[in-house]
Each structure stands twice: as C-alpha cells, then as structure tokens.
Amino acid sequence: MHRLSPHNMPKTSFVIVDGGSTDRTAQIARGLVANNANILFLENPKRIQAAALNLAAATFGQNAEFLIRIDAHADYPNNYCKTLLKETEKTAADSIVVSMHSAGKTWFQKAVAAAQNSKLGNGGSAHRIVGKDGRWVDHGHHALMRVAAFRDCGGYDESFKHNEDAELDIRLRQKGYKIWLTNQTALTYFPRRTALALFRQYVDYGYGRGRTILKHRVCPKLRQMLPTFVAPAVILALATPLLPLAALPFVAWLILCLGYGVSLAVKSGDASIAMAGPAAMIMHFGWSLGFWKAFFSTRRRL
C-alpha cells in the first residue's frame, strides 16, 4: 500500500478511516489507495467516529487548512466539497454545517425517514430542515471545519460515542468560533433498517445528549427536553391497574404519534408512511431511556 508522510501530501487529500468493517470496505479502500496518490487509508482501532476524525486530523492535518467530514449511511450531492469551500470564503465561518434529509429504500426505512423529517421526529431542529436561508447557528451536522479551530478546541471528545458533534460545537462557541448553516448544499441520510437497530441508535443519541448537557451544564431547549418525559410516562403507565389515570400521559403520547403518522401518510399518498408514528415512538422511547441512563450514571459518579 502506498503511504505518504504529512510533509509530502498532495494539496487535496482524501482520508478513509475504517473502524473495523466486516464487509469489503477496507479491501476497496486499499485498492483505491494503490491507484490514487491523494487517497489515504487509516485503521481506527477505537472504531467510533470521534476517534476517526481525530486520528485523520492528527496524522495528516498539520499542513491542511480545512477538514471536511464525510460519514457513512449517507449520500452526498455533486460539488459538495466545492460548495462548502465557497461558503467559508463567503462567510469567513470557522465551521460550516449542513441540513440533513432522511430517505429510505425499504418500507421501514421510508417510515423512519418520514418521522425523522417531521417535527415529531426532529423537534424542528434547524439542521433537519432543508431549504431555509443560511444562518448562524449553535449546532448542525458537521461538514467543514477549519483545522486551526478544530485543533484549538482539542478535537472531538472521544468519550462520546454519539453527540460528539454537538459537544464540540459548544466548545467552539465558547472560544468565539462561528458556525454557519448553509442552504447551498445538504446531504441525504439513510436510517437504520430494523426497529432494534433504530432503538439502539436512539438510546445512544439520548445518552450522548444527556452527557453533553451534564458535562457543560447547559440549559437544553424545550424541544430537546420533551422526549425525556416518554420513558417516565411508559413506566407510570405500568401502575394503571392500581391508578387508572396513570396511563393518561402514555395514551396521549400514543395518540399523538399514531395520529401524526396517519396524517403524514395521507399527505404523501403512501399508506406505509403511517408507520412513521410507531417509528417515532421507538425513537422517542430509546432517546428518553438513553438520556436518563446518562443522568443517573453521572449522578452515581458524583
């Protein structure tokens, strides 16, 4: 495999960081490296995304001005990188973030995508709404970052398996760096293919968000806190045989999600989209469990 040192790298380099893929990813990457001097390959023994970006920046970032993050499970439009570079020239931003639109191939993925694209699934998060005007934000899906800003903040916190981007954005803002949400490009995200995988992902999301809030002692927004009540509502509903009214919060949440899913199906003309309601329930419940897991595990350490 052809290797380059940080001192003789091409002006534009593509670094593939693999966290132990069990498919043909590593084999394909090594094939690309053998035939392209500006494609580099690194193995990421820590496996998580935060470690992958830190490793790439530490190994090859000494002479680089910008770091562009390209994640798996997503599709990127033509001229994505060029657009990001133009945006940083126009805005002088230290970080450019993008909107993310979910899309599915299977019926389950389509239902999850419909939920994630709706306020029921994303709470109106700015980087989940594609097409609005570009603006300065507190957080968004990481796309481009100035290497100097990335290094000054210490890179990603590798103790975060999820929510590492939002956690870094807090440190960026604390140091005075600016984050621009562009409306000139966006990415397409493909959700998990099974209910169990989706549930586990959102448990991790909730855990990461909870740890971020506790680490920085920040006050979360209302839309971020609403899902935290789901797990308590489910637990409270278990007391229904003794206290019939205990089921009211759970029933209200159930009706809201199922009704919202049906309304999305009617608007789209696709009956399978009605499953967006149950998909949202999986997301809410998993996120809530993850958040409380972070809260109680952190409290025990204090």
Structure confidence by residue, pLDDT tens digits, 176-190 = 999 999 999 999 999
pLDDT of residue 302: 46
| Of 208, 221, 214, residue with least CA distance to 287 | 208
Q: How confident is the model at residue 72 (pLDDT cuts 50, 70, 90)?
A: confident
**Weakest-pLDDT range from 126-130, 173-177, 193-197:** 126-130
CA-to-CA distance for 276 and 117, rounded, in angstroms? 10
Mean pLDDT of the chain: 91
What predicted TM-score, i.e. pTM, was given to this entire model? 0.89
Whether the Cβ atoms of residue 38 and residue 12 lie closer than 8 Å to each other: yes
Whether the pLDDT of residue 59 is over 50: the answer is yes
Q: In Å, what is the CA distance from 279 to each residue of 100, 120, 283?
A: 18, 10, 6
- Could you list the beta-strand ranges (E) of the chain: 14-18, 39-43, 66-68, 74-75, 95-102, 135-136, 141-146, 179-189
Domains of the chain listed by start with CATH number: 44-301 (3.90.550)
pLDDT in tens, 134-172: 999 999 999 999 999 999 999 999 999 999 999 999 999
Q: How confident is the model at residue 301 (pLDDT cuts 50, 70, 90)?
A: low
pLDDT of residue 224: 81
Whether the Cβ atoms of residue 164 and residue 50 lie closer than 8 Å to each other: yes
pLDDT in tens, 86-102: 999 999 999 999 999 99
